[in-house]
Amino acid sequence: MVTPLPRPSSRVRTSNSELLSDRAYVAIRDKLISLDIAPGDTIDEERLAAELGVGRTPVREAIKRLAHQKLVVIYPRRGSYASEIDVADLESICDIRERLEGLAAEQAARQARYEERQELQRLLAEFNGCTDPTALLELDTAMHRTVHRLAHNEYLRDILMQSLDLSLRIWNMARERLPHLEHHVHSQAEVLRAILDRDPERAGELAQRHVREFEDEVREMF
């Protein structure tokens, strides 16, 4: 007997559910990183679902992913909350990032394809002449996420994604008091230039230095 194939409509619903969950995940993650949802705040599933134009199921799935990444804390029968920020965690986070950002930059310098190198060129073009603090921080984040992807190692990318998100929350908490934002982003732009030059050693060294500078600058604020 031939086993019947699943009905197309069933597969479409699964695909749409995954897509909505991913969309909710990115939107809520960005709210947590930017502190639009402040540390300790209740995660209001109903309000988020209405705001994002999705059902509560994709929001719940997104919150579970965010809890796994330590951006959200879930208490049974009490609800979900944005995790608190503890600057004491900075050293541990940066220990991971320093080594793995260097590895990602080295791998990107070796493996980035032509169209991916064009993407790096576009990011550098955006950086040149940009002085708006919010735009600079967004560019820095985009540069990091692009390098992570260009390393072509999904396990490395996932670890770096989590540690970067945790770092960005700390950065956003302190950034109004940080005087060297443009210099900080400039140092990440230098990482991209080393990748474009296909210089893995220099790309790795610059990426590690970039993370060390971030840690030193934030530590001075506390």
- Give pLDDT, residue 179: 60
Query: Residue 172: which CATH number?
Result: 1.20.120.530
Task: Say yes or no: 67 and 107 in one domain.
Answer: no
Say whether pLDDT at 178 is over 70: no
The residue written with tokens 């995790």 in the block is 83
Task: Say yes or no: 44 and 70 in one domain.
Answer: yes
For the record, the structure tokens of 55 come out as 């059902």
Contact 106, 201 (CB under 8 A): yes
Query: Residue 77: which CATH number?
Result: 1.10.10.10
Task: Say yes or no: 123 and 204 in one domain.
Answer: yes
Task: Say yes or no: 92 and 78 in one domain.
Answer: no
pLDDT band at 8; cut points 50, 70, 90: very low
Task: Say yes or no: 177 and 212 in one domain.
Answer: yes
* Residue 157 maps to a domain: yes
* Domain count of the fold of the chain: 2
For the record, the structure tokens of 24 come out as 């909710």
For the record, the structure tokens of 29 come out as 């993650």
pLDDT tens sequence across 43-57:
999 999 999 999 999
Residue 109 three-state SS = helix
Among residues 82, 115, 144, the one where a domain terminates is 82
Q: Considering only the C-alpha atoms of the chain, give the largest distance between any 2 of them, rounded to a whole number of Å.
A: 72
- 54 DSSP assignment: S
Q: How far apart are CA 32 and CA 13, in angstroms?
A: 28
Among residues 82, 107, 123, the one where a domain terminates is 82
The residue written with tokens 């260009």 in the block is 150
* CA dist list (Å): 218 to 154, 163, 175, 177, 207: 29, 15, 8, 9, 17
Give the residue numbers spanning the domain of 186: 88-220
Say whether pLDDT at 7 is over 50: no
Task: Say yes or no: 47 and 110 in one domain.
Answer: no
Task: Say yes or no: 67 and 170 in one domain.
Answer: no
Task: Say yes or no: 23 and 127 in one domain.
Answer: no
Task: Say yes or no: 158 and 122 in one domain.
Answer: yes
Task: Say yes or no: 98 and 206 in one domain.
Answer: yes
- Give pLDDT, residue 77: 87
Assign residue 30 a region (left: φ > 0; alpha: ψ between -120 and 50; beta: otherwise): alpha
pTM: 0.84
* Residue 3 maps to a domain: no
* Residue 139 maps to a domain: yes
Name the average pLDDT for the chain.
Answer: 89
Of 7, 13, 6, which Cα lies nearest the Cα of 57? 13
Task: Say yes or no: 109 and 193 in one domain.
Answer: yes
Task: Say yes or no: 107 and 19 in one domain.
Answer: no
22 or 5, which is more confident: 22
Among residues 82, 100, 123, the one where a domain terminates is 82
